[in-house]
Structure 1
């Protein structure tokens, strides 16, 4: 089918829809200022961005991804399609290395989550997405597809940027107003029962497709290819409510109860009257569910834990960096060492009065604003950055080091 890109023009008519395809060569990766992208496209309409990363060369190769899929602790899947029966097979890793040489030459896909946590060159791509809050970004999933490989027509309930890294993939999307939401019930995957594409494109390395939540899409490899998927964290309202209520319940004062000191004789002993409902609401309000400070503190803890695929563990007592005294660590920092952040350590911060709260994997720390911003944004802390922190900031960093959120990298280790 023929693709149907929107017309690109410099002076669009009033109320004209923004183009659905642009070339970003002059202003990568979006081809426009970030503010315009967020205004016109973010969670509103899809966008094909040609040359989002001009001259892009993949930092990893298919064999690297296959090797990663064999490692314990990785989240990996293989999806294969039987075209004759339109059947789908799903397998979960980690996989045996002997599996891959015997895989067919077509119609299968390997997907590995959190590749940015395992490969620093892949993680470096996230800097191009700094126009988004970092705590909104979930991970970079990398998929290898043999020719004809696909995961079927589906929808995601979160924003995603699909960057073509190697080879060519043909994408179809349904950008209509009301696409069919029904799923097939004969396969393990959540595939659409009906898919009616409105647009079709062939992506080359460096091209990128942005899709808002709920846009049906289907990608098929034209040849052996790699695709990087930058996905967002988008908790459902039910997940938010469930975690918040659990937090409130865990912290609630047992003395806060339903009370009725103004109780009058019951007209009907079986009736729940309006006064009873008013008292029930008062009992709930006593939990301060609408307290902005309490909400903010809960959300900071929640969002730095949500969908965290890996755990940060403190080193065994007396082993590794935990065995070094604070004086030794600070001496190392003064002489060229760096505290490197654990790839699964998620940080964010928010203002709390005149100070700030730093959130690290569900834990909160009171810090000056400058310290919270510095620590949350730094991938590593060298001697100068450490010296610039307040006493409280240095205390926090040392505590995080002991908890495993940092490892100490010395110059001698890097040379080795």
Structure 2
């Protein structure tokens, strides 16, 4: 299943991206849901999958976290089932991410899918990341406000909402319609009937996350061991005084780490890691190199597992938080830019024993799989 998205990307980036929200009617023409409500409910029963059930009743807002065992006690209205990173677990749904790859793989986070009954929603809220919300089956009423300063509150410990706001978008979305919402714009969506929604979210790391991640890397690799020095130490009137230039020297010691050659491999490792668990299932028994070569010769395409990030930065290629080294840049580019690799593309590399061994290792790590494995699952 493939999806064609009707967006003029240069115009969209210039006019809307991180500037203002917009509804795009029939962004996906003749839209067909890649996943059913029953399949989504099945994912929410799995331990590895992050899911939650948000409902509202006379007692207020309620939030329950998966995995769930059943949904028999649910009412006919006022609840939503939300499942994160569906693209990691459902190949057909993962296809919805492909049209957005033009905006960069490292910025893309995951595909959240929600099933809502009439009046189901999570209440008015705002996000700190860009999101494209695609309407699947059913209809949903969306309101989006301006990015004014709005007070947030928690009607439930696991739910953060905002106060009522004046809408600048007030629309009913039907299958194939899309609403784009930049960070900081309050919004709320309520289903008018049983409906599916697909939210393509974009990663936006905070300075706190970056600093914490880099600090962990520095400690793990025993970097930054150079100590403070002050060969030009000056006397001061009071022993308690810390001089401004001393503070600046300490600051420069920290900044020098960010400008060191170690920063690039760390940022590549950091950005290529997924926030959600991947569906990594190493083949059993493991492939032998001749078996990989035979599969390619037989015309079997190679698929990348959903959600796996393969990023290229400077002269490095990163896969799921690790540097992948190879003497063949074309081989690395093929891995990075193709989620499905055809036998024709692979065949020249399987003739190279070194690259064949490397490819076999990646398949045995569970990062790529031959297409028939999916059919047998």
Task: Establish whether TM, by shorter chain, passes 0.5.
Answer: yes
Pick the structure with greater CA Rg.
1
Q: 1:49 & 1:249 partners in 2: Cα distance?
A: 47
Aligned length: 371
> Residues 267-306 of structure 1: matches in 2 within 5 Å?
267-287=237-257, 289-291=258-260, 294-306=262-274
Does 1 or 2 have the higher relative contact order (CA < 8 Å, sep 6+)? 2
Q: 1:65 & 1:47 partners in 2: Cα distance?
A: 27
* Closer/same/farther in 2, CA of residues 247 and 144 from structure 1, 3 Å limit: same
How large is the RMSD of aligned CA atoms in angstroms?
2.6
Structure 2 residue 230 is the aligned partner of structure 1 residue 230: no
* Closer/same/farther in 2, CA of residues 249 and 67 from structure 1, 3 Å limit: closer
* Counterpart among 43, 54, 66 of residue 93 in structure 1: 66
Per the TM alignment, residue 277 of structure 1 is displaced from its structure 2 partner at its CA by: 2.5
* Closer/same/farther in 2, CA of residues 398 and 192 from structure 1, 3 Å limit: same
Does the CA-based 8 Å contact 1:30-1:37 persist in structure 2? no
Q: Provide the secondary structure at the position in 1 that maps to 2:161.
A: coil
**144-153 vs 294-303, which deviates more?**
294-303
Q: 2:49 & 2:141 partners in 1: Cα distance?
A: 27
Structure 2 residue 186 is the aligned partner of structure 1 residue 216: yes
Per the TM alignment, residue 286 of structure 1 is displaced from its structure 2 partner at its CA by: 4.8
> Residues 8-407 of structure 1: matches in 2 within 5 Å?
29-31=5-7, 33-82=8-57, 84-85=58-59, 87-97=60-70, 100-175=71-146, 177-184=147-154, 188-253=158-223, 255-265=225-235, 267-287=237-257, 289-291=258-260, 294-310=262-278, 312=280, 314=282, 319-320=284-285, 322=286, 324-352=287-315, 357-367=316-326, 368-389=328-349, 393-407=355-369
Does the CA-based 8 Å contact 1:345-1:405 persist in structure 2? yes
Does the CA-based 8 Å contact 1:365-1:396 persist in structure 2? no
Q: 1:264 & 1:187 partners in 2: Cα distance?
A: 53
Does the CA-based 8 Å contact 1:333-1:383 persist in structure 2? yes
Per the TM alignment, residue 192 of structure 1 is displaced from its structure 2 partner at its CA by: 1.1
Superimposed CA distance per residue, residues 4-36 of structure 1 (whole angstroms, 9 cap, x where no aligned partner)? xxxxxxxxxxxxxxxxxxxxxxxx6344x2111
Q: 1:55 & 1:160 partners in 2: Cα distance?
A: 22
Return 5+ residue gaps in structure 2 as ranges: none
TM-score (norm 2): 0.89
Q: 2:245 & 2:98 partners in 1: Cα distance?
A: 56
Return 5+ residue gaps in structure 1 as ranges: 1-27
Per the TM alignment, residue 109 of structure 1 is displaced from its structure 2 partner at its CA by: 0.6
TM-score (norm 1): 0.81
Q: Provide the secondary structure at the position in 2 that maps to 1:65.
A: helix
